[in-house]
Amino acid sequence: MNPERIIIFDTTLRDGEQSPGISLNSFEKLEIAEQLARLGVDVIEAGFPVSSPGDFEGVQKIARGVSGVTVCALARAIENDVRTAWDAIREAERPRIHTFISTSDIHLQHQLRKSREEVVEIARRMVALAASLGDDVEFSAMDATRSDPDFLAAVLRVAIDEGARTINIPDTVGYAIPTEFAEFIRGQYERVPGLNDVVVSVHCHNDLGLAVANSLAAVEAGARQVECAVNGLGERAGNASLEEVVMILKTREASLGMGAAVNTAEITRTSRLVSQLTGYEVPPNKAVVGKNAFAHESGIHQDGVLKERTTYEIMSAASVGRGHSDIVLGKHSGRHALKSAMEELGYNLSEDELNQTFARFKKVADKKKHITAVDLEALVSEEVRTLSDIYELKSYEVSSSSEFIPTSQVIIEKEGERLMGKSFSGGSMESIFMAIDDAVGTKGKLKDYQVHSVTEGKDSLGEVRVVVEVGDKPYAGTALSIDVIEASAKAYVRALNNAYRAGAVN
Ligand code: KIV
Ligand code: ZN
């Protein structure tokens, strides 16, 4: 018997982006959305268009540029939200409006300050409005798990009558526990027979660490859409983690009788990309995507795995895209070798992208003996990201010693013009950042600074991520280099490019 298909609704770019400190520009959102489409999720919740012009632009870019997937936009049950959401997604191949209103008495009394009757009426009007704009409408009853089940049922009935095709029952505050949540969902099926004609969805937060367990319990009780985010990103403790939900469905498909149409071999790449662009590191022991998820430390385990992998592994590293690639390039490798390595990794680079990546590859290969698949992926993503940048770091010099104050000089190119900057100040990093500010003519405040090595070994590429505040808004930038000072300077310049796009620098 074919397994029943569970719809994977990804909310990395909406609820995930609500995690503190994440600031993705519209190009980065598009890059993540393209990867989510490659991963094969069914729905991408691309953002909350009414919340800012930047969010609107990001959602619109995704709607216009990403195909083969439903593109969804969030809207409160407010007319302007619903219309703005529709304007942002109307050009998508498969657009979906997702509108929501709270149904718990706690929210009604303290936040909405509305009566139950008023909430029913608002839900009725806003779902009807959404359904008049597009035919794929999702309705969410926020804080459903703390709502009176009879009142919740009354609201869901109205939403279905007005044309919602997906009904989402969120555990907004992560309060539910699996057995109780499954009962709650069954209770709604009993009260609202119309739920059998629509898709029931769940959206679980992880405040008690139960988001994935609750999602699974709901699926066993009849839900057919799970809302989740890559690396479990989201408000507070996050959402159900996409990779865990998907790998549970794959690994236990036979017992559950349910599966997802996701290309699991893209999971690792997606997780890395999201971590790199959001700056949220994946804990080493995180299920499926953590660095140690497939590492065997104890002698007994190693012995078992060497004899037969399944002794201690319930899924293979290759099934989530962590199989060892044989790709190793070096300084003698040519353009052709690079092109075929990139194709093997799933990248079809344009002529321009290949030229830029090759030039960059040669520079790195001069200093690093072996360039692996992981290095290549990191390099190519960075090259593609910088193609639309206006400021480019052309050269830099920093002098630092134990005795004297560091001095820095930089040359930045902006549309053919060379901008020089210099500084004398406290630390060598501070000094180079100030020299960049001087060249660009701005004053950034460094809010976050992280360094990671991409692979192992002393000659590993270093990846630096900075968050720079310009005006009162944060802008993030990441960059790679064998040299950490160079990576830091480039990351800072990337953040200023993001600030430039948002109009915060000239
Ligand atoms: O947590 C929540 O209830 C939400 C809704 C907007 C679905 O994010
Ligand atoms: Zn949420």
Give the pLDDT score at 25. 86
Q: How many residues does the chain have?
A: 506
Distance, CA of 461 to CA of 452 (rounded, Å): 9
Name the residue at shortest CA distance from atom 2 of ligand 1. 172
- Which residue in the block uniquely carries the two structure tokens 């037969």? 308
Give the pLDDT score at 325. 65
Residues 337-357: tens digit of each pLDDT: 898 888 887 777 888 888 888
Name the residue at shortest CA distance from atom 8 of ligand 1. 15
Distance, CA of 266 to CA of 229 (rounded, Å): 15
* Nearest alpha-carbon partner for 346 in 325, 371, 360, 331: 325
Is the separation of the CB atoms in 231 and 287 below 8 Å?
Answer: no
- Which residue in the block uniquely carries the two structure tokens 């992208």? 353
Which residues, in sequence order, are CB contacts of 155 under 8 Å at separation 6+? 101, 103, 119, 120, 123, 141
Distance from residue 137's CA to the centre of ligand 1 (Å): 15
Is the separation of the CB atoms in 82 and 97 below 8 Å?
Answer: yes
DSSP codes of every residue in 329-376: E-TT--HHHHHHHHHHTT----HHHHHHHHHHHHHHHHH-S-EEHHHH
Distance from residue 89's CA to the centre of ligand 2 (Å): 20
Distance, CA of 402 to CA of 374 (rounded, Å): 36
**Tokens at residue 238, please?**
């996050």
Q: Any residues with Cβ below 6 Å from ligand 1, and which?
A: 15, 100, 140, 142, 168, 170, 172, 203, 205
Name the residue at shortest CA distance from atom 4 of ligand 1. 172
Give the pLDDT score at 141. 98
Distance from residue 450's CA to the centre of ligand 2 (Å): 27
DSSP codes of every residue in 374-386: HHHHHHHHHHHHH
The atom number, within ligand 1, closest to the CA of 15 reads: 8
* Test site for ligand 1: of 43, 50, 100, most ligand atoms within 8 A of the Cβ: 100
- Ligand that lies nearest to the alpha carbon of residue 172, given by its number in the listed order: 1
Report, as ranges of residue numbers, the positions in the chain whose pLDDT lies below 50. Answer: none
* Nearest alpha-carbon partner for 74 in 205, 258, 203: 203
**Tokens at residue 329, please?**
């390039």
* Test site for ligand 1: of 9, 11, 15, 111, most ligand atoms within 8 A of the Cβ: 15
Give the pLDDT score at 378. 82
Distance, CA of 502 to CA of 498 (rounded, Å): 6
Distance from residue 109's CA to the centre of ligand 2 (Å): 20
Which residues, in sequence order, are CB contacts of 502 under 8 Å at separation 6+? 25, 54, 473, 475
**Tokens at residue 225, please?**
């859409």
* Test site for ligand 1: of 142, 204, 214, most ligand atoms within 8 A of the Cβ: 142
* Test site for ligand 1: of 140, 143, 155, most ligand atoms within 8 A of the Cβ: 140
Question: How many secondary structure helices (H) and strands (E) does the chain include?
Answer: 17, 18
Distance from residue 270's CA to the centre of ligand 1 (Å): 23
Measured at the CA of 384, the angle between CA 340 and CA 329, to 5 degrees, comes to 35
Give the relative orientation of helices 373-386 and 267-278 as an angle to the nearest 10 degrees: 50
The torsion of the CA quartet 73, 10, 279, 17, rounded to 10 degrees, works out to 30
User: How much is the pTM?
Assistant: 0.87
Distance from residue 158's CA to the centre of ligand 2 (Å): 22
- Ligand that lies nearest to the alpha carbon of residue 104, given by its number in the listed order: 1
- For the chain, the C-alpha Rg in angstroms (whole number) is 25
Name the residue at shortest CA distance from atom 1 of ligand 1. 172
Distance from residue 174's CA to the centre of ligand 2 (Å): 9
Name the residue at shortest CA distance from atom 5 of ligand 1. 142
The atom number, within ligand 1, closest to the CA of 11 reads: 8
Give the pLDDT score at 455. 77
Q: Is 284 helix (H, G, I), strand (E, B) or coil?
A: coil
Beta strands in 172-308 (DSSP E): 199-204, 225-228, 258-259
* Test site for ligand 1: of 155, 172, 201, most ligand atoms within 8 A of the Cβ: 172
